[in-house]
Structures are given as structure tokens and as C-alpha cells.
Amino acid sequence: MSSVPAATILGFPRMGSNRQLKKAVEAFWASKISESELLDRTKQLRKEHWELQASLGLKQVPVGDFSFYDHMLDHAVLFGIVPERYNVTKPGLECYFAMARGLQAPDRGIDVPSLEMVKWFDTNYHYMVPQIAENQTFALDSTKIIDELREALALGLDARPVVVGPVTFLKLSKTASGAGSTLSYLPQILPLYVELIKQLVAEGAKWVQLDEPVLALDIDAETQEAYRTAYAELAKISGAQYLVATYFAGLEDNLELAASLPIQALHLDLVRNPEQLEGALKAVPESVVLSLGVINGRNIWKADLSKGLELINTAAKARPADKLIINSSCSLLHTPHSLDAETELDAELKNWLAFSTEKIAEIVVLSRALHEGVDAVKAELDANAAAIQSRRTSDRVSNPAVKSRVVSLKESDFSRNNEFSVRQAAQHDKYKLPLFPTTTIGSFPQTSDIRRNRARFRKSEITAEQYQEYLETATRECIEWQDNIGIDVLVHGEFERNDMVEFFGENLSGFAFTRNGWVQSYGSRCVKPPVIYGDVSRTRPITVETAKFAQTCSPKPVKGMLTGPVTILQWSFVRDDQPRSETCKQIALAIRDEVVDLETAGTTIIQVDEPAIREGLPLRKSGWDDYLEWSVDSFRLATAGVVDSTQIHTHMCYSEFNTIFPAIQRMDADVITIENAKSDLKLLHAFEHHGYKAEIGPGLYDIHSPRVPSVQEMKERVRKMLNYLSPQLLWINPDCGLKTRGWEEVRSSLTNLVEVARELRKEY
Ligand SMILES: CN1c2c(nc(N)[nH]c2=O)NC[C@@H]1CNc1ccc(C(=O)N[C@@H](CCC(=O)N[C@@H](CCC(=O)N[C@@H](CCC(=O)O)C(=O)O)C(=O)O)C(=O)O)cc1
Ligand SMILES: N[C@@H](CCS)C(=O)O
Ligand SMILES: [Zn+2]
């Protein structure tokens, strides 16, 4: 067997230290750079990333973790799973990006939508769902991964190709009709995996990483059998050594299955589930290398290396060191590039953090401790212990007033004064909205002009007053436009927000924000999650002045617009020194204060967005009840402090909501606007089936596409909805916020949307 890497990572973030990938790809889309320039720039980026990893001490680097847009999309292309509708595009990058983003080229008669995009497990990363046709023919196109392997080998590095394993790949794909099991395609796709792996081995790969996070989920007998079949087949390839990577959860009941697979190394996520180590040491044959995922790939905290060492020592008592790999818990895709750019973070806080680059250094220290003994890395371990101690004992982490407020919460704090029907009567009386009230989800186009002005304000190139004036003009114009076209419940447009979570993080204590801590969310789009390091409280009203101003721009109601506690939690880097439920309640109290202040200021329709409530659901069912209890309680706590006539809206998008329907009901919002345009009405069936009583706005069109929906097609959609929902409960709105769209599309789409409501009102 070729040598086992002492230390490695499952994958590195793709964007680059300065989001070079985003900039290159977006410049290519805008025809500002050529394809060869894009290829050159991204080749350089991969080189930098591998050399960085090697310079930090990794002996083997992952390859194939790079992607122009998304790694699942790369695999769809790798196996020739390209739906027929993309045949009109040029093969290569045009076809690839058409699958990613859709392509409209009227001069060539092309108008193809993108593939579906969904969340990658419980992360804020989104992948493109491969769509397998009924009569799918598969064909291997392995250029990308082979090229990247060659690039790394040419640099003199030991490189390990990263491939999504066959069972996980199929389980995350869908059939074109949405029916039937994708695992039925295993016999057809396996020979391509065999061929691919043979090529990788022939090119010089000593190890191949097969990512199988599905192996750490609740899986049925068919999936278990698929694992046995697939890996028995792959084991026949001579010279191939497999590192099978499970992450985001523990193996638990799948341990025996995993241990029985004919593989050379098994990776365990010991951050999410350290308890699984003991069982794995017993169940996994001694010939199989254990890869210990001890450094958290989902967070930005410096690891407590003494705890990592404890796990490693436990493993080292049962296995020789050369049968252990020290690793990240999952790919580092979900953490920012490096702390180097964080020149504005205060020194104390910065000393508590580790981004991807610093996490690699931690992995190397742990690996040296294992192989050379702790004395060899005494200075590093001492410095780490001091940082951990500093964070544990720092005054800034704890706020006794916040803690005691949470402790003294009463049951009544979690409930509105009256049930929905009573509130609904009071709200109808107050707002006198027409049947089929129209509204939007909150954001309007975040144009480059808006972002430029914010950047100029941050760099003090314009004053606070100038920036404020700019925002007020944009807000006023937006509200007046909505009013003029006849929307009933208006929004202010969210122009002052860089992001719906980061904006609140910047305005709450216990939060810090970074200058350059970008993480890929989808394609070229990134987010900069705030860091929750301490007890959370609101030190001043956050949105009240904007809401007051907005309300002066029209006599119609303008919705207050807040991000909910679960979404703020989910899209931040959360402290790991207390349960997430505790932090969530603290955020909920801060949002509650804001809700009450908005009400006092006269904004009495208030939307509290919770798009991430489903994303936070634990991957294993055993964790669902507990999560749903505290997450829904947090939403209720945030929203229950208002009188009956104040109308609480919530909004959710881009998740499979049917599984958590009772929890959605328990949130007890007065109005829910929910993404639905791509769904097959299954969701609406759930509303009917569960006897949902409150008002609902299922999205009438998909805001991810620049396409303008016609009146006719949206009306058709409403008619279908009315088979499930009463006209008295139905709101008319898009799927989600409009921040990524251009004004031109927004104007046409919303004008059509209002017309839909007008026509329907004549009929009902
Ligand atoms: C609803 N979604 C969200 C998710 N997560 C969030 N945290 N927020 C969300 O809204 N998850 C699920 C979905 C994912 N969807 C999106 C949609 C759009 C984006 C996006 O557009 N991201 C932007 C970055 C946004 C941002 O913070 N911009 C800053 C500007 C930062 C910047 O680059 N400034 C430049 C200067 C700019 C200029 O001069 O023009 C600089 O400083 O050099 C801001 O507005 O201030 C992106 O471009 O990737 C993300 C997720
Ligand atoms: N209010 C937010 C919700 C996005 S999920 C927006 O409109 O962008
Ligand atoms: Zn949304």
C-alpha cells in the first residue's frame, strides 16, 4: 500500500483570498475576459491553493475540489448527464454555465432555464441537482479532474482526487419526472466510476477520495444495498486506494455497513459526532486506515487542540499512527480563506479564530503531535491553550443581563394574546385590504450603484449624511413606484442592507463581522457570515428609523422587515461554548425588542423572515423534535410581543417544507409567504391536508430567473392554488426577494402580478 497521508483536508475553499474566482467568472459572463483568460486565472488560483497547503505542511492535497460553479454540476457533466434542452448550447463552458444559470440568447433562439438548485445538506452552500433522463445514456468526460490531477502532480505534489461517491451522487440527483429511485441507475453509472478511477490511478493518483456523506444519514435498505454493490465493484480495480469520506453526521447505525466496505480508509466527522470514534475503533478492520476529522470545517473558531489530541490519543491506543490520518471534519469549503485580511478585527477576538488556512496549520500541529510527540509542538500547543483560555474567561463573552432575561422567560412570552381567528378579525378591520392582497418579499434590486455607494461610505469617500440621503431617495422612489402600480402592502426595498443577516449582525452586540470572511453560497455568490462570539443583545433600534421614513412615503402600509432568529443563527458562525438553542433565544429577544419598537413607531405589519428554518433541521431524524421545539419557540418569542391587530408575516424559501409542516403551523404567523413556483403543488396539498388556518402567499413566480412571467401563467397558477386554498386566505406575491434581479424585469413582472390580482378580484 502506498503511504498514508499523515495530515490532509477534505477540500479547500475555491473563491481565493480576494474572491478571485468570483471576479474571474463574473468577468467572463460579462464578456470582459476571454475563456482562455478565465482558464489561466483559475489555473493560477488552484496552484496558489495547493502551494499554500503544501507550505503549511500537508503532504497530500485534494484535487477536483475546485469548480467554476458547483461540484455536483461538475459531476453531472463528468458523467454526461446533460438534459437534452442544453443541446442548443455550445459544448464546453457555454453548456456548463447554461446548466448553472440558464441561458437566454434571443438572437440564437435560445431560452433555457437552469437546473434546480438546492441546499447542500444542512449548509448555506447550494448545489445544482443533476437531472437524469428516463432513457439517460451516460458517457465519461473526465477532462477536468484529470487535468487538475496533472496540474498538481506537475507541481511535484502528492495529490488525491476528490470525487462524489456513486451512492451519494445518485441520491442527490433526481429523475427528470421526479418519480422513481435514482439508485436504479447504479448499474449504468458504476462502469463510469470504474473507468474514471482507472484513469486517475494510471495518471498517478495513489489515493482517491470518495465523498459519501449520505452514509451518515438515515438510509433505507435499498441505499445500504447500493453501498455494498458499488464498493464491491470499485474494489476490483487494481492499484486503487479509497478514502471514503462521511461528514456532517455520525455513522451510528450505518457503522457496520461502513466497516464492511472493501475500502482502504474511512473518514469520520469527529466534530459533529465524536462519540462514534469508540465504536469505529472496534468495528472497522485494523487494515483500514481511520481518517480523524477533528478540525471543524463548519466554523471559524480556533480548535481546542487538547480535545483534538484526546480523540487522537484514543485512536492511537488502538491503531498504529501510520493507520491514522489527521483531517478536517468536512471540506473547508464552508469557512473563509484566511485570517490575513482581517486587519480590522481586534486582536483579542482575532486570536480566537481560525479560517481555512489557519485550520490547516492546526491539522499539521496535531499530526506532528501524533508522529513526533507533543514536545515537538509544545510552543504551538501552549499558544493554543492560552487562546482557548482567553476566550473562555473573557469579559466580553458573557452578559449576565442577557442570561437572566432568558432564564426569566415565562410561557406567556411565547404566545400571542389571542388565537389566529381573533387576530385576523382585528387585522382585517384595521387594514381593510382587498381580496388577493398583493405584496413582495422585501428586497428590490441591489444595483451596483447601491453597492458602490455603500463601499464609498465605508471608505469614508462620502459622509454618513450623503449615504443616508442616497438611501432615502432610493427607498422613496421604490415605495412610490410600488404604490403607483397598485401593490397593496409595500416594502422599503432593503437598500441599506449588504445582506439580510450580516446587516443585523453589524447592529447587535455579541456579534463581530469580518472584512473578507467570504464563503461561497452558490455559484459566484458569496456571503460574509457574522461571528457570534458572546451573549447577544440589541443596544439600539436597528430598523425603526428606516421604517418610520418608509411610512412617510405612502399612505399604504409599508411592512417592517426583519430577519428571524433561526435564520440569523443559521447563517452566522455561531459560538460553540453554549447550545445553539441558547444563542437562538438571545437573538429572538433582540428581534422581539425590534418588533415591539416597530409596532410602537406605527409599523404594524411586520415580516420576520425565516428562510433557513428548514436548513437547520438536523440531518438525523433523532434530532428533529428537539430542534423544532427550540427553533419554533424562538420565532414565537421574537414575534409574540404585539397586539392582535399587528400582522406578523413570515417568509420561507428554497427548501423542502413538507416534512416540517406541523412546525410551520406552530410558528403561528398571521401570513406566510412561501417559495412555491418550482414546486409541484405538493406543498399546497400539505397546507390543505393539515388544515392550515392562517393566510398564505405561495410564490407566483421564480425570482432566480430574469424571465418575466405573463399574467396568464400566474393566473393559471393561482387557479391551481385555489383548488387547495380558500380565496379569503390567499396573498399574491413573488417567490422571494428581488435583490439579485434587474429593475427592468422587476417592473414588468410586478406590473403583471398586480394585474393578476385585479383580474381575480373581478371573478371572486
Ligand atoms: C437568500 N439567500 C441568502 C443566504 N444567506 C445569506 N447570508 N443571505 C442571503 O440573502 N442564503 C440563501 C440565499 C443565497 N442567496 C444569495 C443571493 C445573493 C448573494 C449575493 O449577492 N452576494 C453578494 C455579496 C453581497 C454583499 O455583501 N455585498 C456587499 C458588497 C461587498 C463587495 O464586494 N464590495 C466591494 C465593492 C463593491 C462595488 O464597488 O461595487 C468591495 O468592498 O470591494 C454590500 O452590498 O455592501 C455577492 O456578490 O456575492 C448571496 C447569496
Ligand atoms: N426579505 C428578504 C428575504 C429573502 S429570503 C428579501 O426579500 O431578500
Ligand atoms: Zn426568500
pLDDT in tens, 215-236: 999 999 999 999 999 999 999 9
Task: Please indicate, yes or no, if residue 708 is contained in any of the structural domains.
Answer: yes
- pLDDT score at 677: 60
What residues make up the domain containing 663? 403-447+485-763
> Same domain, yes or no, for 352 and 442?
no
All residue ranges of the chain with pLDDT < 70 are 1-2, 677-680
In whole angstroms, give the CA distance from residue 172 to residue 127. 9
> Same domain, yes or no, for 559 and 524?
yes
Task: Please indicate, yes or no, if residue 426 is contained in any of the structural domains.
Answer: yes
Task: Please indicate, yes or no, if residue 127 is contained in any of the structural domains.
Answer: no
| CA–centroid distance, residue 509 to ligand 2 (Å) | 23
Residue 106 and residue 48 in contact, taking contact as beta carbons nearer than 8 Å = no
Q: Return the exposure string of 299-334: e unless at least 16 CB atoms fall within 10 Å of the residue's CB, then b.
A: bbbbbbbeebbebbebbbebbeeebbbbbbbbbbbb
> Same domain, yes or no, for 501 and 367?
no
Ligand 1 atom with minimal separation from the 446 CA: 45
Cβ–ligand 1 distance for 451 under 6 Å, the answer yes
- pLDDT score at 311: 98
Q: Which grid coordinates belong to 455?
A: 463601499
> Same domain, yes or no, for 426 and 297?
no
Note residues around ion ligand 3 (Cβ under 5 angstroms).
611, 653, 736
In whole angstroms, give the CA distance from residue 186 to residue 79. 12
Ligand 2 atom with minimal separation from the 443 CA: 7
> Same domain, yes or no, for 417 and 291?
no
| CA–centroid distance, residue 673 to ligand 1 (Å) | 23
- pLDDT score at 352: 98
Task: Please indicate, yes or no, if residue 629 is contained in any of the structural domains.
Answer: yes
pTM, whole model, 2 decimals?
Answer: 0.96
- pLDDT score at 680: 62
Q: Which grid coordinates belong to 612?
A: 433557513
Question: How many Cα atoms occupy the beta-carbon half-sphere of 689 within 13 Å?
Answer: 10
Task: Please indicate, yes or no, if residue 469 is contained in any of the structural domains.
Answer: no
- pLDDT score at 61: 98
Q: How far is CA 7 from the centre of its chain?
A: 27
Q: Which ligand is nearest to the CA of 443?
A: 2
Cβ–ligand 2 distance for 561 under 6 Å, the answer yes
Residue in 527, 568, 573 to alter for ligand 1 test, most ligand atoms within 8 A of Cβ: 527
Burial of 531 (0-12, 13-18, 19+ CB in 10 A): buried
Question: Pick from 349, 371, 393: which residue ends a domain?
Answer: 393
Instruction: Look up the CATH number of the domain holding residue 518.
Output: 3.20.20.210
Cβ–ligand 2 distance for 739 under 6 Å, the answer yes
> Same domain, yes or no, for 642 and 731?
yes
> Same domain, yes or no, for 728 and 708?
yes
Residue 440 and residue 733 in contact, taking contact as beta carbons nearer than 8 Å = yes
Task: Please indicate, yes or no, if residue 547 is contained in any of the structural domains.
Answer: yes
Q: Whose CA is nearest to atom 4 of ligand 2?
A: 737
- pLDDT score at 679: 61
- pLDDT tens digits, one per residue of 622-658: 999 999 999 999 999 999 999 999 999 999 987 778 8
In whole angstroms, give the CA distance from residue 229 to residue 186. 9
Residue 532 and residue 501 in contact, taking contact as beta carbons nearer than 8 Å = no
**In total, how many domains does the chain have?**
2
| CA–centroid distance, residue 117 to ligand 1 (Å) | 18
The three-class DSSP label of residue 537 is strand
Cβ–ligand 2 distance for 606 under 6 Å, the answer no
Question: Pick from 349, 367, 393: which residue ends a domain?
Answer: 393
Residue 245 DSSP symbol: E
Q: Decide if 649 is catalytic.
A: no
Cβ–ligand 1 distance for 499 under 6 Å, the answer yes
> Same domain, yes or no, for 289 and 324?
yes
Q: In terms of DSSP bridges, do strands 265-269 and 242-245 run parallel, antiparallel, or are they unpaired?
A: parallel
Percent of the chain past pLDDT 90, that is, above it, reads: 93
- E strand map for 204-254: 208-211, 242-245
> Same domain, yes or no, for 668 and 706?
yes
The long-range contacts involving 73-77, CB below 8 angstroms and separated by at least 24 positions, are 73/99, 73/100, 73/115, 73/127, 73/128, 73/130, 74/144, 74/145, 75/130, 75/163, 75/164, 75/169, 76/115, 76/128, 76/130, 76/131, 76/173, 77/141, 77/144
Ligand 1 atom with minimal separation from the 454 CA: 46
- pLDDT score at 686: 84
> Same domain, yes or no, for 385 and 408?
no
Q: How far is CA 520 from the centre of its chain?
A: 8
Residue in 128, 444, 499 to alter for ligand 1 test, most ligand atoms within 8 A of Cβ: 499
In whole angstroms, give the CA distance from residue 337 to residue 414. 40
Of 695, 613, 596, the C-alpha closest to 653 is 613
Cβ–ligand 2 distance for 500 under 6 Å, the answer yes
| CA–centroid distance, residue 521 to ligand 1 (Å) | 9
Q: Which grid coordinates belong to 40?
A: 489561466
Task: Please indicate, yes or no, if residue 208 is contained in any of the structural domains.
Answer: yes
Task: Please indicate, yes or no, if residue 586 is contained in any of the structural domains.
Answer: yes
Ligand 1 atom with minimal separation from the 611 CA: 1
- pLDDT score at 1: 45
> Same domain, yes or no, for 225 and 165?
yes
- pLDDT score at 2: 55
> Same domain, yes or no, for 376 and 409?
no
Q: Whose CA is nearest to atom 43 of ligand 1?
A: 455
